[in-house]
Structure 1
Amino acid sequence: MRLCEIGERALLKGLAPIGYPEGAPLPPGDDAGGVWMGGEAWLLKTDGFLYREVALVGMGPFEVGFRGVAATASDLLVKMARPLGFTLGLFLPGDLEVGFARRLVKGAAEAARRLGAHLLGGDTNRGEEVALTVSGFGPAQSPLPREASPGDLLYLAGDRWGRVGAAIRAHYQGRDLGAFPLIREAAFYPLPRLGLLALRGLLRGALDSSDGLSETLWQLAELGVRVDLEALPLHPDVLAFAGGEEEAVELVLFGGEEFEAVLVVPPEAEAQVLARAGEAGLPLFRAGRVGEGEGVYFRGAPVPRRGYAHF
C-alpha cells in the first residue's frame, strides 16, 4: 500500500507509537512529544517543509525562516511548554547564493529571539531544492493533552483566524495585499502566543491549528465528542477581502497556517481563563462548545473535514 492511498493521518497514526516511551507526558501523535525529568516534562517538536510550498508571493528567505521556527514553537506553546531553543536542518542546492542562506537563518533567529529563546545551530545538507527541518524544545510543568468532555467550552486564541487564509488565497489568485496590512503581517510573521502560558492549570485541552480550523476541530471530535461552533471571528479586513460573510467563513474554517490555538475550557474555569488572558494580552474568542455525539457542526450544519494534508 502506498502513502497516497492511506493519507497523512493514517500514516501518522501508525508511525507515532513506534519507539514512543510508556508513561510519557503526552500520548503519541499529539502536537509534541517528551519525557519526564525530575518531575518536569521536557517536550520536543520537529517540523519540516519545502521552501516553495510555504513561500507566498512577497515572502523571502527571512520570512520563511521566521515561519519555520514559529510553526515549531506553536506546537510547544499549545502544550504549555516554554520554548528555550531551536535547531535548523537545511537542505540547500550547491548554486544557491550564500546571502539567501544567511537570510533564512536570520529569520529563524529573529523568531526565536521574539519568543525569548535561542537558535542553537543545526546541520546543512546538499539538496535539489531548499528545504528546512526545525526542532524546538522546552519545559512544561503540566503538559496539556488533547482532551475534551461534553459541556466544555471552545475558545479560539489569537487574531490570525481567516487572515492567513486570505493571504494564501491572495497568493494563488495573484491579488495584492497592499490594502490589507494585518492580513499580510499575519501570514508573513505568525508569531505564536507566549500568553498561552498564563492559562496553565485552567484548560482541559488544547490543539495547534496549522492544517486549518476544520481539520483541527475534527481531530478534537475524534476523541469521541461533538463539536458545535456557534460563532466565528470575522475580522473586518477579512470580510472586506472576502467580499462577504460566506466567503469569510470559508477562510476561517479552511485557511490553515494560523499557528494559533484551539482551547477546551471547563465552564467553571471560564471566568478565570478570561481574566488571565486579559492580563496577558491574549485575544480569545468564544466559538462554541463540546457535546455528546460525533462530528463538527457550525450553527447546526455539518462542517466538512477539509484541510492541508500531505500525500
Structure 2
Amino acid sequence: MSKLDESEIIKIFQKKLGNKNFVSEDVEIFKLNKSNIIAKTDTLVESTDIPPKMKLSDAARKSVVACVSDFAAKGIKPEYGIISVNFPSSISRSKIEDAAAGFRKACKEFGISILGGDTNAGREVVFNVCLFGSSKRIVPRGGSKNNDLIFATGPFGYTAAGLGILLDKKKGSRDFVKKSIQSVLNPKPRVNFGLKNKKYFTATMDSSDGLSTTLNEMAKQSKKKFVITSSPHKKDLETHAKSQKLNLDGLVFHGGEEYEFVFTVNPKHKQAILKNAKLLKTPIIEIGHVTTGKGVVLQRNNKEIVLKDSGWKHFR
C-alpha cells in the first residue's frame, strides 16, 4: 500500500466530513449571527518544527506567528486566540515559564487577547494556536486576473539557509549566519502591509510552505499561468549558495518558513503599493505577471522553465 501524503489525508477528512466543495484557503470564514468570523489554527511540533538553538519562548512566539502570517496575507487583524499546549511530564518549570513568556510576547506584539486553551501531557512539546478576527471579506487565493503583477514581501531564501546551518551545520560568513538564523528564530509577518493594501489585492497567499507551493496553488485556483521573471532574493544569498555548493532556486523557491506572502495586483495600483511599502518600511519585490494558461514558469534567457510545487509537505 502506498504511503499517504498530506493532501490525500486532507481529502479523506473532507470526504468524511461532507466538505465536497472545499476550497483550500489561508483562513476559514463563517458567519455568526450577522458577523463574518475569520479563524485560523496551526500546530507546532517539537520533533519537526523546533530546530536546535531555538528556545521555547521563540517556538511559542513562532506558533502564534504561523497563524498571524495567514491573517496578514488576507489583510485582516487577529484579535482573539485559544492556545493548547502539550508538555512531557519531565519538563522543568523554567521551560514552561519560557514558553509562556513567548506566548505573552507574541500576543503583545500583535495585539491579541487570549481567551483560554487546554493543557496536556505527552512525549514531546506541541503548541496549537487558533486565532480569530472579523472582516466583511477575505482576499482569495484564486482571484488573479490576466496582466496582474505578481509581488512578494520578502526577501526569500534566508530561512532555508538558516535551517541548513542549524540542522546540517552548514557554514557561512559571520554576518550571513547571524541573519539567516535570526530569520528562523524570529520571523516577522507583514500584518500592517496586508491591512493597508488589502483593497488593491486580487489574490494573496501566505508563503510559509515554500514559494513554489504558494505560486502553484494561486495559479491553480486562479486558473491562470504565473510567469516569474525575477527571483526575490539578495546577493548575499547567491554568494552563500555558491560557497556552500547549494542550489539557489532550492533555497528561494522550495525552502519555506519565511512567513511572507505573495499577492497579485492590477498594474494601475503599482505606484500605490510601492508608496505604502516605503511608508511601512516593508520590503516588497515584483517577481512576475499573470497571463492565460496554467502552471508556473521561470522566465530565463528567453526560455520558460516549469517551476514545480516542491515546497514543504507533511508525510512527503
Q: Distance in 2 between matches of 1:75 and 1:15?
A: 22
| Matching residue of 2:282 | 282
Indicate if the aligned counterparts of 1:227 and 1:289 stay in contact, CA closer than 8 A: yes
| Matching residue of 1:217 | 215
| Matching residue of 1:234 | 233
- The CA deviation at 1:199 is 0.4
| Matching residue of 1:310 | 314
| Matching residue of 1:136 | 131
Number of matched residues?
304
Q: Distance in 1 between matches of 2:25 and 2:260?
A: 16
- The CA deviation at 1:176 is 5.2
After TM superposition, the score normalised by the length of structure 1 is 0.89
Pair 1:201–1:19, CA change in 2 (3 A): farther
CA RMSD, 1 decimal: 2.4
Secondary structure in 2 aligned to 1:49?
strand
Q: Deviations over 1:79-125 (max 9, x none)?
A: 22101122221111111112112211211221221112233332110
- The CA deviation at 1:234 is 2.0
- The CA deviation at 1:197 is 0.7
How many percent of aligned residue pairs carry the same amino acid? 25
Give the alignment partner of residue 125 of structure 1, picking from 73, 98, 120.
120
Residue pairs, 1:42-191, within 5 angstroms: 42-147=37-142, 148-159=144-155, 161-175=156-170, 178-180=174-176, 181-191=178-188
Indicate if the aligned counterparts of 1:109 and 1:119 stay in contact, CA closer than 8 A: no
Indicate if the aligned counterparts of 1:90 and 1:131 stay in contact, CA closer than 8 A: yes
Q: Distance in 2 between matches of 1:158 and 1:85?
A: 27
| Matching residue of 2:195 | 197
Q: Deviations over 1:222-245 (max 9, x none)?
A: 222111110012223322322269
Q: Distance in 2 between matches of 1:267 and 1:47?
A: 34
Pair 1:209–1:16, CA change in 2 (3 A): farther
Q: Distance in 2 between matches of 1:270 and 1:38?
A: 37
| Matching residue of 1:297 | 297
- The CA deviation at 1:36 is 3.1
Pair 1:104–1:205, CA change in 2 (3 A): same
Secondary structure in 1 aligned to 2:175?
coil
After TM superposition, the score normalised by the length of structure 2 is 0.88
Pair 1:211–1:152, CA change in 2 (3 A): same
Secondary structure in 2 aligned to 1:257?
coil
- The CA deviation at 1:246 is 7.4
Of residues 255-264 and 176-185 in structure 1, the stretch that sits farther from structure 2 once superposed is 176-185
Secondary structure in 2 aligned to 1:262?
strand
Q: Distance in 2 between matches of 1:211 and 1:201?
A: 25
Of residues 112-121 and 122-131 in structure 1, the stretch that sits farther from structure 2 once superposed is 112-121
Indicate if the aligned counterparts of 1:12 and 1:29 stay in contact, CA closer than 8 A: no
Indicate if the aligned counterparts of 2:163 and 2:181 stay in contact, CA closer than 8 A: no
- Give the gaps of 5 or more residues in structure 2: none
Pair 1:13–1:290, CA change in 2 (3 A): farther
- The CA deviation at 1:35 is 1.8
**1:10 partner letter:** E
Q: Distance in 2 between matches of 1:128 and 1:246?
A: 35
